[in-house]
Amino acid sequence: MNLSPESRVKKRSSNACQRCRRHKIKCSGSQPCDTCRKRKLNCVIDDRAQKVLVTRGYIEDLQRKVALLERSQELPSPQTFSDDLDRPASRTSTKPLFHLLRSLIVKGDTTGPFEGTEWEQAENDSEMTNPLSTGPSTFMSTGFGRIFYLGTSSNWSFARKVLGMIHEHLYDSPLPTDRRHFDETAYELGWDGLRTSISSEVPMIPTLDFSIYLLNAVKFHVGQLFHVFDEPSFMEGFYAYHENPVHQTTVDPLWYIQYLLLLAFGKAFSVQRGPNRWPAGCELFVKALQLLPDLTHLYQYPMIATEILCCVALYLQSLDFRSSAYGFIGQAVRLSLASGMHTNMPIDHLGGEALQRRRRIWWTVYILDRQMTSLMGLPQSIEDNQIYHELPLFPESPHKVTALSMQIKMCQIIADVNRTVYGVDGRLNRKFLSSTKTALGNTANLDTRLQESHRLEIDESSPNGVSRLSAHLHLLYHQCIVLATRPLLFCFLKMRLQSFDPNAKPFTSSAIVCKLLQVCVESAKQMLSILVILQKQSLLDSFLPFDLESTFVSALVLLLAPFVDPYLLDDSQPWLHKAYDILDEMIYRGNQIAAFRRSDLEQLHDLLRESSGLCDRREEMISHMSLLYSEESHIGDANDLTTADIMAVAESIGSMDVDWMAHAVTENCIW
């Protein structure tokens, strides 16, 4: 049946004007439309949302044209860039490539804009890896011939690599050996480690009341974080010793070794000593090490033996004997695993007290192993899916359970970062950024719980003191963030050094990568803010390595950030002064390692100043980091870094950003 023209159903116009669309009324599609003409209104037809069908060849031709334009495009002058900062709407023009390529995706076509192009090849290139963890392994020799492996995630190795890279860039020669500070050079133990050279001299043991004072110092500084001795059983031997020393040391030699170690820690915390080659109480530690029996004997007494090995490892780590500390904590791991402490231990076989003690020992071994392994930059030795995750009970201190749980969670994040971001496949494209995104998300998820259980007030005007335990947890939290994002800083540092042309394309063209760098900087500032408060309240720890590591990590980031891009940090000097002031106090209180770390920072500062003049003048450096300072993306000051900020950055990582990362590292040839 033929229908008359009047009876046919008319299709809706595909060119409806904005007013008709807004009011959901029929539009004639003419210009102006019938409705707007009758009402004498301005008729605006926006056809940008109209769907069109084009051929793949047409898209590929456009992509090639965009690539040619991108290569030939000259950067605006510093003045033009400065003017753009005052016009927020114009900032979108700094990334025309992204906007154009996004608009080229055709509905229903699953092929991305980079498929079949050099971007896809860059993404799939096996050479596209984290420069801190791939390629030939990095080694460094001392002046006396000892060779050190520079681990991937190690803070010390990171500083060595940065110093060496900048020095070679400036002088075309390796960093001189006399300007390097190596493992086991800060202190002398006064013993060569050979059993044939053991002295028969018995160290002087403090009196009962002074010993109790030293033990309390150990409980405050170490006992809140780790289990290093079982107080009920230890104190039984303690009083027996002070009644009859010879009998107690003969009957229970392992108890005596543990006592010497605890006294060595107590003196290191309590006896202030200026610069010295031997920390206070070191002679007690060396005697304990000389008396320590072979593993064949230690395996007969797994609980106290593992506690002793943890004490030895932590003490050696505090003296910067990192390799030796790693070896001792490794022995503790093997001993505890062989004793089944990682399993669901039955209470009917062990008893309630022994069960709780074993669990406290196990999680101390676990945490110390994770942290020391990361500081060495080595693969983790314990798989989480093979252990039983039951926590010990602390009836007298319920907050300890939460603190222990938080430490475990953050150590698991550290292990995940080491395995993915710093692993052999830590690719600086999709896998790299997705691993970073996961790490940031997991870390940010802990923030709410951390704030609820161990809130930290770092406002200097607050009348309340800072909890030493809470400060440690928050410092560890921010170290997780820096560890996950620091490879990007190293990547752009390398690009910065290799860019001799002041008119070269900016390095930090991706807004998401910029935000990741900013998160790294903000966490470094947060750590220094916490450390400053600890210093003012006389809670800064000058012996254990944790505060020193946090200071050094923060200062490294804040030194490198403005060199990579001035917009990352307006002025690094106030923050560096804070870091140097903290290090100076540690040096004054006898920490020789702090003196070495300060020297490293000063060397780096000088080299960066020289490199800054050689590579590029600051006023000529054009950066897209200004995107961070727009209203929608500005992160804020050191006190403003929130969970929402970190989660927003993590969630905003998309395919365009990982493609950009792949393209950037390939284009700059940083390998």
**Predicted pLDDT at 275:** 64
Q: What is the DSSP letter of 427?
A: B
Residue partners of 428: CB distance under 8 A and separation at least 6: 128, 129, 130, 131, 487, 491, 661, 662, 665
Q: Per-residue pLDDT averaged across 305-320, rounded?
A: 96
Local confidence band at 132 (pLDDT 50, 70, 90 cut-offs): low
**Predicted pLDDT at 14:** 57
Among 369, 371, 314, residue whose Cα is nearest residue 336: 369
Select the more confidently predicted residue: 443 or 391: 391
Sign of CA dihedral 111, 114, 115, 116: positive
Select the more confidently predicted residue: 535 or 514: 535
**Predicted pLDDT at 460:** 64
Task: Report whether pLDDT(376) > 80.
Answer: yes
Q: What is the DSSP letter of 39?
A: T
**Predicted pLDDT at 149:** 58
Cα–Cα–Cα angle for 262, 264, 270, rounded to 5 degrees:
100
Task: Report whether pLDDT(661) > 60.
Answer: no
For 324-336, give the secondary structure using H, E and C: HHHHHHHHHHHHH
Q: Per-residue pLDDT averaged across 362-391, rounded?
A: 90
Q: How far is residue 526's CA from residue 545's CA, in Å, rounded to a whole number?
A: 18
Q: How far is residue 328's CA from residue 289's CA, in Å, rounded to a whole number?
A: 11
Q: How far is residue 130's CA from residue 358's CA, in Å, rounded to a whole number?
A: 39
Q: Dump pLDDT digits (tens) for 354-364.
A: 999 999 999 99
H-assigned helices in 172-274:
208-221, 231-243, 245-251, 253-270
Q: How far is residue 353's CA from residue 441's CA, in Å, rounded to a whole number?
A: 38
**Average model confidence (pLDDT) across the chain:** 76
Task: Report whether pLDDT(258) > 70.
Answer: yes
Q: Dump pLDDT digits (tens) for 152-208.
A: 667 877 888 888 888 888 888 887 766 566 666 778 888 877 877 777 778 899 999
- Mean pLDDT check: name the lowest of 204-213, 234-243, 375-384, 427-436: 427-436
429, 488 in Cβ contact below 8 A?
Answer: no
Select the more confidently predicted residue: 342 or 189: 342
Local confidence band at 382 (pLDDT 50, 70, 90 cut-offs): confident
Q: Dump pLDDT digits (tens) for 634-648.
A: 444 444 556 666 666
Local confidence band at 449 (pLDDT 50, 70, 90 cut-offs): confident
Tell me how far CA of residue 301 lies from CA of 232, 253, 293, in angstroms. 17, 12, 11
